[in-house]
């Protein structure tokens, strides 16, 4: 009997130990077995693309018809296909739609509406590591302007790049768990992420006592090892690895008001050496298909390609190179091989443009006309963050800008003011 009781005690104790151990196991071990890392085949990639398309189509619809969009439910709410949004991402999407619904109402107060929108998403690349897949996608959106005043352009459009993160659960089912904008500026009208602000660029004393600029908010182009660089259609550009100590200044441009109606300040298109229509035509030709005669600064840190693109447009309309050192922001030049800081840097461009007397600051952003330049300082820290060029102006006085980072065609100033009410604006008559 003693042996029998002892054996029963051991078995009972073992059973208790197994139960206790099971209680300490993670839920996925206590339940169904975990499947091997799932494969991402062509069908899965296609589903990733369709869900991304649903996400950004819903956001576009929110700008056109409100949060609910054109359907009984947003596309992401009724999506099927083996991939779904996580609860956390679904909450973020709902918040984004609410924000865009409010933006639509604010735009309407400023006299802007969209009659329809079209969004398509292409899958550019997929990178899978274990149970995580990252999908790089390009969103192309066109919005048709409703004829509120009757003289709006036909459409506005943009291309935006995103990285979507998909995570597989214990059963191998994929969920969309994150969306990250990969463009530098976050400046698409249906985006809700805060725009990227560059660190303040301040002037510091040089050894000679003159003011020199610290690093540009845009990428700095190093001079080539060759002492002389040929600049296309301009005099020779001398390159140097050392900053210049020329007698220069860093003038502060006055902020431009964003109220309407703006005081009259018509632009003269006659009696000038510049071709403003050529500036606009260049920008509208290359807003989404880049000119390979120049480098592309997207993905090269803060600043992106916006000022480089504006400089190209101005050059197409008659701005001439001012050769010199790349770091001297009183010089201005750019071609396939070398660019001055003032050609690609947001703040350096402003300093050059004012020092050279090629621009005159405008008191109100709504005074800007074709060929004029508008800049923004998102966080009002004194360092400008983004450059754009006006390519259309409606008869009732609304400028429409075209720009890179994010690639955008004819976006109204009213839309920028509505989307970034806390930003500072600067406008320059060219």
Peptide bond just before 72 cis, omega within 30 deg: no
Cα 161 from Cα 268, distance rounded (Å) = 38
pTM: 0.78
The set of residues, in sequence order, having a beta carbon less than 8 Å from that of 403 and lying 6+ positions away, is 187, 283, 287, 306, 309, 310, 386, 387, 388, 389, 411
* pLDDT value, residue 302: 58
* pLDDT value, residue 198: 62
* pLDDT value, residue 117: 96
Tell me how far CA of residue 235 lies from CA of 132, 238, 317, 318, 322, in angstroms: 53, 9, 18, 15, 8
How does residue 405 score in pLDDT terms, banded at 50, 70 and 90? confident
How does residue 17 score in pLDDT terms, banded at 50, 70 and 90? very low
**Tokens in use for 55?**
């996400």
The mean of the pLDDT values for the chain is: 82
Mean pLDDT of 9-34: 42
Give ∠ CA 232-355-359 in degrees, rounded to 5: 80
pLDDT digits (tens, 9 = 90+) for 311-330: 999 999 999 999 999 999 89
* pLDDT value, residue 72: 57
Q: Which residues pair with 40 in a beta bridge?
A: none
How does residue 192 score in pLDDT terms, banded at 50, 70 and 90? confident
Per the CB < 8 A criterion, the answer to whether 400 and 156 are in contact is yes
* pLDDT value, residue 186: 63
- Top pLDDT among 405 and 290 is at 290
pLDDT digits (tens, 9 = 90+) for 54-71: 999 999 999 999 865 555
- Top pLDDT among 3 and 154 is at 154
Mean pLDDT of 115-133: 96
* pLDDT value, residue 145: 96
Cα 51 from Cα 77, distance rounded (Å) = 10
The percentage of the chain sitting over the pLDDT mark of 90, rounded to a whole number, equals 65
* pLDDT value, residue 63: 94
How does residue 203 score in pLDDT terms, banded at 50, 70 and 90? very low
The percentage of the chain sitting over the pLDDT mark of 70, rounded to a whole number, equals 77
**Tokens in use for 242?**
């050392």
User: CA torsion sign, 274 to 275 to 281 to 285?
Assistant: negative
Q: Among 266, 269, 259, 251, which Cα is nearest to 364's?
A: 259
**Tokens in use for 31?**
């339940």
pLDDT digits (tens, 9 = 90+) for 232-268: 333 333 333 334 334 457 899 999 999 999 999 999 9
How does residue 78 score in pLDDT terms, banded at 50, 70 and 90? confident
């Amino acid at each position: 009997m003693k042996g029998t009781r002892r054996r029963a005690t051991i078995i009972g104790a073992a059973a208790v130990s197994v139960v206790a151990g099971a209680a300490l196991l993670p839920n996925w071990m206590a339940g169904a077995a975990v499947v091997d890392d799932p494969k991402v085949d062509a069908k899965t990639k296609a589903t990733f693309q369709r869900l991304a398309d649903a996400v950004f189509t819903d956001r576009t619809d929110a700008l056109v018809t409100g949060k609910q969009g054109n359907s009984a439910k947003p596309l992401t709410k009724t999506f099927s296909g083996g991939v779904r949004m996580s609860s956390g991402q679904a909450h973020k999407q709902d918040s984004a739609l609410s924000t865009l619904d409010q933006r639509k109402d604010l735009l309407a107060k400023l006299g802007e509406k969209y009659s329809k929108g079209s969004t398509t998403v292409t899958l550019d690349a997929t990178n899978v590591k274990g149970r995580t897949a990252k999908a790089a996608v390009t969103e192309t959106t066109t919005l048709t302007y409703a004829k509120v005043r009757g003289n709006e352009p036909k459409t506005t459009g943009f291309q935006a790049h995103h990285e979507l993160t998909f995570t597989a659960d214990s059963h191998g089912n994929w969920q969309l768990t994150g969306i990250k904008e990969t463009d530098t500026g976050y400046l698409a009208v249906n985006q809700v992420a805060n725009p990227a602000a560059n660190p303040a660029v301040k002037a510091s004393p040089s050894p000679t006592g003159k003011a020199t600029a610290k690093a540009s908010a845009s990428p700095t182009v190093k001079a080539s090892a060759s002492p002389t660089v040929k600049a296309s259609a301009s005099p020779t550009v001398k390159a140097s690895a050392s900053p210049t100590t020329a007698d220069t200044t860093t003038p502060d441009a006055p902020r431009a008001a964003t109220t309407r109606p703006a005081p009259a300040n018509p632009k003269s298109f006659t009696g000038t050496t510049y071709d403003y229509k050529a500036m606009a035509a260049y920008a509208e030709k290359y807003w989404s298909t880049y000119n390979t005669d120049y480098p592309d600064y997207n993905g090269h840190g803060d600043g992106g390609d916006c000022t480089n693109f504006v400089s190209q447009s101005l050059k197409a309309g008659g701005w001439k190179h001012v050769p010199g050192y790349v770091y001297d922001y009183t010089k201005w030049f750019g071609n396939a091989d070398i660019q001055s800081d003032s050609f690609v840097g947001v703040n350096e461009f402003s300093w050059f443009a004012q020092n050279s007397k090629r621009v005159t600051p405008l008191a109100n952003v709504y005074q800007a006309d074709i060929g004029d330049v508008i800049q923004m300082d998102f966080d009002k820290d004194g360092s400008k963050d983004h450059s754009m060029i006006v390519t259309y102006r409606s008869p009732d006085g609304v400028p429409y800008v075209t720009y890179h980072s994010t690639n955008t065609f004819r976006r109204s100033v009213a839309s920028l003011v509505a989307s970034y009410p806390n930003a500072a604006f600067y406008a320059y008559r060219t």
